[in-house]
Amino acid sequence: MIGRLNHVAIAVPDLEAAAAQYRCTLGAEVGPAQDEPEHGVTVIFITLPNTKIELLHPLGAESPIGAFLAKNPAGGIHHICYEVEDILAARDRLKASGARVLGTGEPRIGAHGKPVLFLHPKDFNGCLVELEQA
């Protein structure tokens, strides 16, 4: 059911410092900062040959990243995103297995303009898992 690893998301306390580190020290291809007000984040995508790293920084007081950084001030890996072909079929299969879908249970449009869902970390070895319809 799951396909490619679409991205690994890393919450960072200083977006520009993290971007500079990936660009200059690690020599990676780093994109521009993009505000995503409907998701409460500013993101920078790092393009690796086979997948992406998504640097996340809070945008606004309601940001879902704020609490994570309060608990992990140095930052940390926030979630991993797997691609699926059919997000509603994936959701129904997961729910039938007992996994909890976060929020309303209906897909939202994610930062890439595609339908996404998040799964409860307690059901997936402590990992917040995002599914994105590829």
Q: Please identify every residue annotated as catalytic.
A: 130
38 vs 48 by CB, closer to its own copies: 48
- Least distance from C-beta 99 to its own copies, angstroms? 7
SS (H, E, C) the chain: CCCCEEEEEEECCCHHHHHHHHHHHCCCEECCCEEECCCCEEEEEEECCCCEEEEEEECCCCCCCHHHHHHCCCCEEEEEEEEECCHHHHHHHHHHCCCCECCCCCCEECCCCCEEEEECHHHCCCCCEEEEEC
- Least distance from C-beta 50 to its own copies, angstroms? 4
Binding site for its own copies (CB under 8 A): 1-5, 8, 10-13, 18, 21, 24-28, 48-51, 53, 55, 72, 74-77, 80, 82, 93-94, 97, 99, 121-122, 124-127
21 vs 102 by CB, closer to its own copies: 21
- Least distance from C-beta 33 to its own copies, angstroms? 15
